[in-house]
């Protein structure tokens, strides 16, 4: 076990990896949300929106993993996976913004003994954070009177729901496999909510009378 560090502590390499991942993913998502593929005026508007959306979706997701790991006393830091970042960006280009596969890196943690429960809780922290942030953004959207900020808030919320659902897929190194191993019922519940919000947001919020 290591000494718990402040939420504000970042190593130099972690800062670099987070910044590069954030900017690269934002470029990829800007391609996806831009109404006209590679239209310069549209991209100029889409990129800052993507910066905010990915900042709330990706960065807070990884920080939630990190802080839960540190809560258990483990050493934990984010590290970028550069081939995954390149793949995410070029896939968005090749598909003309129709699809994105975000595998920018991961938050690693190390401890003398890591139990299945601890690993599961560390893994679920990211998607749960995405859901909470997504609902907060929807709440702010309801009270916003600026068309620009309404677009920012709704797209940021949808990207948060997408991050939650994607990461809960029970495959390989994604969070879903570890959460399912720890608590399959919790995984089913959170994955179902995330997937519905990511795939059918308009229908769900219409039924709830939120839009």
Q: What is the pLDDT of residue 12?
A: 92
Read off the pLDDT band of 39 (50, 70, 90). Answer: confident
Q: Cα(first)–Cα(last) distance of the chain, in Å?
A: 47
Q: Which of the listed ranges 139-148, 150-159, 169-178, 185-194 does the model predict with the highest average pLDDT?
A: 185-194
The reported pLDDT for the residue numbered 211 is 61
pLDDT in tens, 71-111: 999 999 999 999 999 999 999 889 887 888 878 899 999 88
User: Looking at residue 5, what is its pLDDT?
Assistant: 65
Q: Which residues are catalytic?
A: 62
Residue 23: alpha-carbon gap to chain centroid: 14
Contacts of 109-113 with C-beta under 8 Å, sequence gap 24+, read 109/65, 109/66, 109/69, 109/74, 109/75, 109/76, 110/74, 110/75, 110/76, 111/1, 111/2, 111/72, 111/73, 111/74, 111/75, 112/1
């Amino acid at each position: 076990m290591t000494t718990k560090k402040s939420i504000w502590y970042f190593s130099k390499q972690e800062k670099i990896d987070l910044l590069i991942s954030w900017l690269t993913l934002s470029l990829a998502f800007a391609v996806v949300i831009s109404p006209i593929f590679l239209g310069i005026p549209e991209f100029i508007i889409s990129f800052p929106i993507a910066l905010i959306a990915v900042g709330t979706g990706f960065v807070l997701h990884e920080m939630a993993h990190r802080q839960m790991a540190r809560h258990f006393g483990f050493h934990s830091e984010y590290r970028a996976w550069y081939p995954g970042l390149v793949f995410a960006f070029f896939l968005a280009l090749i598909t003309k913004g129709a699809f994105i596969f975000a595998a920018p890196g991961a938050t690693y943690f190390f401890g003398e003994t890591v139990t299945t429960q601890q690993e599961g809780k560390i893994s679920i922290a990211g998607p749960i954070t995405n859901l909470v942030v997504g609902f907060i953004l929807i709440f702010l959207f309801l009270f916003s009177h600026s068309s620009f900020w309404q677009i920012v808030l709704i797209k940021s919320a949808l990207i948060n729901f997408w991050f939650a659902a994607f990461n809960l897929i029970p495959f390989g190194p994604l969070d879903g496999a570890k959460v399912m191993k720890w608590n399959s019922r919790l995984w089913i519940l959170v994955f179902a909510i995330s997937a519905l919000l990511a795939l059918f947001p308009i229908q769900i919020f219409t039924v709830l009378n939120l839009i």
